[in-house]
């Protein structure tokens, strides 16, 4: 048995599920905080777990460069290295090689590139990416893929998608099946429904433990992203988890859950926590704004995170203006709590058959916050 997945309930296109990994059970739909370099930035693992998170996302590209996959394996694997006892999904490095690495050369065999840290030369191929993820001890391994930026001409998207599918087959072959561990395929194809459907069919032919939709949330806009999901998700297997990579804003999560997505990751809640931007039940709040300077009220009175239960908006404003580390810590904790609570509320709404009503109330409260 690889990773287990069970759909416990449905509401429209949305699913309430349970993912079973070697490092525990994950209730879906779920948001996975980024632990790119082996840490959720500005958070202790205890703080991450306190938000309810039971899975985080590590990154092949960053960890292979520093401190190195073999070193982490020698120190007992990524779970022990970063003191995170729950599940870890690792990205394959494909996206970061395309977006961060210098002087990259893409060939059928794989990618040659120079590290963005010190310029040293590396090679990453499907087999090596899967081997690195094995060394890290990932519960969920992602296939090595090529991502095209947006916009890209259709012919380029098509040939890139075909390369990605050949790499997917090699990734699947390189993956060593073991209990509680799985490998997910990635559907590419840009904004073109026919390419997406061909990519999905090829991925299903290879056969994976879960299916990701990649190459979205890169500037195409929410409406286009939802249109791609409308075309793609119904073609994916009912009994396997579906993961939308790299999205997104709270409204993206609600819309994608309604379209049958089970798993998400995004840099937004953690990165925004370090730039004084907070997500709340009444929209986005910029705590650097002078109007918070004398406000004794909590950031979000309904939130149970350390920032909202112990501190005023005025204090959070002061910390951000003073550039204090505690400001980043508190706001990251808040944003991750908000994302975790949003996902938990959607899980409950799916169970009670009220997701459409939840989504309407969510949109109304976000809009009301914008006008305050």
Q: In terms of CB distance, is 187 or 303 closer to Zn ion? A: 303
Give the separation between CA 341 and CA 33, rounded to whole angstroms.
13
Query: From the CB of 114, what's the least distance to Zn ion, in Å?
Result: 41
Catalogue the active-site residues: 91, 265
Beta bridge partners of 278: 285
| Strand pairing category for 87-91 and 14-21 | unpaired
Strands of 263-265's sheet in order across = 30-32, 263-265, 242-244, 210-213, 182-187, 140-142, 87-91, 55-59
Query: From the CB of 304, what's the least distance to Zn ion, in Å?
Result: 7
Query: From the CB of 340, what's the least distance to Zn ion, in Å?
Result: 11
Q: In terms of CB distance, is 161 or 303 closer to Zn ion? A: 303
- Do 160 and 146 contact (CB within 8 A), yes or no? yes
CA angle 81, 144, 194 (to 5 degrees): 140
Q: In terms of CB distance, is 5 or 339 closer to Zn ion? A: 339
Binding site for Zn ion (CB under 5 A): 303, 305, 307-308, 334
**Torsion (CA) 285, 290, 294, 295 in degrees, nearest 10:** -10
Residue holding tokens 């090829």? Answer: 202
As a whole number of Å, the CA-based R_g of the chain is 20
Q: In terms of CB distance, is 240 or 334 closer to Zn ion? A: 334
Tokens of 186: 């990635």
Q: In terms of CB distance, is 89 or 336 closer to Zn ion? A: 336
Query: From the CB of 266, what's the least distance to Zn ion, in Å?
Result: 18
Of 363, 357, 346, 362, nearest in space to 9 by CA? 346
Give the separation between CA 24 and CA 89, rounded to whole angstroms.
12
Helix (H, G, I), strand (E, B) or coil at 99: helix
Cα distances (Å, whole numbers) of residue 273 to 36, 108, 220, 325: 16, 40, 24, 11
Query: From the CB of 307, what's the least distance to Zn ion, in Å?
Result: 5
Query: From the CB of 334, what's the least distance to Zn ion, in Å?
Result: 4
Q: In terms of CB distance, is 111 or 307 closer to Zn ion? A: 307
DSSP-assigned letter for residue 103: E
Query: From the CB of 205, what's the least distance to Zn ion, in Å?
Result: 45
Give the separation between CA 137 and CA 76, rounded to whole angstroms.
9
Q: In terms of CB distance, is 233 or 308 closer to Zn ion? A: 308
Tokens of 82: 């970063």
Give the separation between CA 299 and CA 289, rounded to whole angstroms.
13
């Amino acid at each position: 048995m690889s990773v287990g997945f069970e759909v416990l309930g449905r509401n429209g296109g949305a699913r309430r599920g349970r993912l079973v990994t070697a490092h525990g059970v994950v209730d879906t739909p779920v948001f996975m905080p980024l632990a790119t370099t082996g840490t959720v930035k500005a958070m202790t693992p205890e703080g991450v777990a306190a938000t309810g998170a039971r899975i985080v996302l590590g990154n092949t590209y960053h960890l292979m460069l520093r401190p190195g996959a073999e070193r982490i394996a020698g120190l007992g694997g990524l779970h022990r290295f970063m003191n995170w006892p729950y599940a870890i999904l690792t990205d394959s490095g494909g996206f970061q090689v395309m977006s961060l690495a210098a002087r990259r050369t893409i060939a059928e065999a794989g990618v040659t590139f120079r590290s963005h840290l010190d310029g040293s030369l590396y090679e990453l191929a499907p087999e090596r990416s899967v081997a690195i993820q094995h060394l890290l001890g990932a519960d969920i391994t992602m296939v090595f893929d090529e991502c095209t930026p947006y916009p890209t001409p259709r012919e380029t998207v098509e040939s890139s998608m075909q390369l990605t599918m050949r790499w997917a087959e090699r990734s699947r072959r390189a993956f060593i099946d073991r209990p509680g561990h799985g490998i997910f395929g990635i559907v590419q194809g840009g904004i073109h429904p026919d390419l997406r459907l061909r990519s999905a069919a090829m991925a299903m032919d290879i056969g994976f433990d879960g299916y990701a939709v990649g190459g979205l949330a890169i500037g195409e806009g929410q409406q286009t992203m939802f249109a791609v999901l409308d075309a793609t998700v119904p073609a994916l297997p009912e009994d396997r988890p579906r993961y939308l990579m790299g999205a997104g804003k709270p409204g993206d999560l609600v819309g994608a859950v309604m379209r049958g997505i089970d798993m998400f990751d995004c840099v937004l809640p953690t990165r925004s926590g370090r730039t004084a931007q907070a997500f709340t039940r009444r929209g986005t709040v910029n705590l650097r704004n002078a109007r918070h300077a004398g406000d004794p009220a909590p950031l979000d009175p309904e939130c149970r995170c350390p920032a909202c239960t112990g501190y005023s908006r005025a204090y959070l404003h002061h910390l951000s203006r003073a550039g204090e580390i505690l400001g980043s810590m508190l706001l990251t904790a808040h944003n991750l709590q908000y994302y975790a609570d949003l996902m938990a509320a959607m899980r409950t709404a799916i169970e009670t058959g009220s997701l459409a009503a939840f989504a309407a109330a969510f949109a109304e409260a976000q809009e009301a916050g914008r006008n305050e």
